[in-house]
């Protein structure tokens, strides 16, 4: 009698797609001040940073370049008012992937959806959480019926409509100071 091994967990397939954590980069007080200033205003000039921190602009430029090279600073972003570009509806979708599904293909199909803003691997009762930006109810209906339901391997998902966003008050200064004290 031959036995078939149980299907691999969906998390096994996702593990190859997730960026791995890397060791922390040592930061001194000046690095922490720079990061806090840039987090508050990514468009601040090196001259303004130098004045704020009390260093020369070339020294600031070297520090910023080093933090970029080390991957601490990964980029500079634009904060978009999604309502102004006619995508006011924010939808979160926790997703369960069917055991035995082609996880890589499923993720590729999700990532091909233009309205997908973020896709994260999570623990708990779901495998992924997707965040979409949409125009309205009809756009949500089209996303669900025409683009998500046909994806093979999507076992289950729910739709959570956001009623509004509350800006996070991440205290970067405090977080970095705590890390420095550890």
Q: What is the CATH number of the domain that holds 132?
A: 3.30.70.920
Structure tokens at 41: 């205003």
Q: What is the average pLDDT score of the chain?
A: 89
| Domain-embedded: residue 33 | no
The pLDDT tens digits of the residues spanning 40-71 come to 899 999 999 999 999 999 999 999 999 999 99
| Domain-embedded: residue 112 | yes
How confident is the model at residue 87, as a pLDDT?
96
| Domain-embedded: residue 118 | yes
Q: State how many domains the chain has.
A: 1
Burial 16-36 (b: 16+ CB within 10 A, else e): eeeeeeeeeeebeeebbbbbb
| Residue range of the domain that includes 133 | 89-161
Mean pLDDT of 85-98: 97
pTM for the whole thing? 0.78
How confident is the model at residue 6, as a pLDDT?
44
| Domain-embedded: residue 61 | no
In the predicted structure, residue 132 carries a pLDDT above the cut 60? yes
| Domain-embedded: residue 140 | yes
Residue with tokens 């999700």: 110
pLDDT tier for residue 5 given thresholds of 50, 70 and 90: very low
In the predicted structure, residue 8 carries a pLDDT above the cut 60? no
In the predicted structure, residue 4 carries a pLDDT above the cut 50? no
How confident is the model at residue 62, as a pLDDT?
96
DSSP annotation string for 33-50:
HHHHHHHH-TT--HHHHH
| Domain-embedded: residue 39 | no
| Domain-embedded: residue 113 | yes
| Domain-embedded: residue 78 | no
């Amino acid at each position: 009698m031959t036995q078939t091994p149980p299907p691999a967990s969906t998390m096994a397939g996702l593990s190859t797609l997730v960026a791995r954590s890397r060791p922390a980069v040592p930061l001194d007080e000046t690095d922490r001040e720079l990061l806090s200033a840039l987090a508050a205003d990514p468009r601040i000039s090196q001259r303004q940073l130098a004045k704020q921190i009390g260093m020369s602009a070339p020294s600031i430029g070297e520090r910023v370049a080093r933090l970029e090279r080390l991957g601490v600073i990964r980029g500079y972003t634009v904060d978009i008012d999604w309502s102004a570009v006619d995508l006011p509806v924010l939808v979160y979708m926790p997703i369960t992937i069917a055991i035995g599904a082609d996880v890589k293909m499923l993720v590729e199909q999700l990532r091909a959806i233009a309205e997908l803003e973020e896709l994260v691997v999570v623990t708990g009762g779901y495998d992924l959480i997707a965040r979409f930006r949409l125009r309205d109810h009809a756009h949500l209906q089209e996303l669900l019926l025409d683009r998500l339901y046909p994806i093979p391997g999507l076992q289950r998902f729910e739709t959570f409509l956001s009623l509004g966003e509350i800006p996070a008050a991440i205290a970067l200064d405090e977080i970095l100071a705590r890390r420095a004290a550890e």
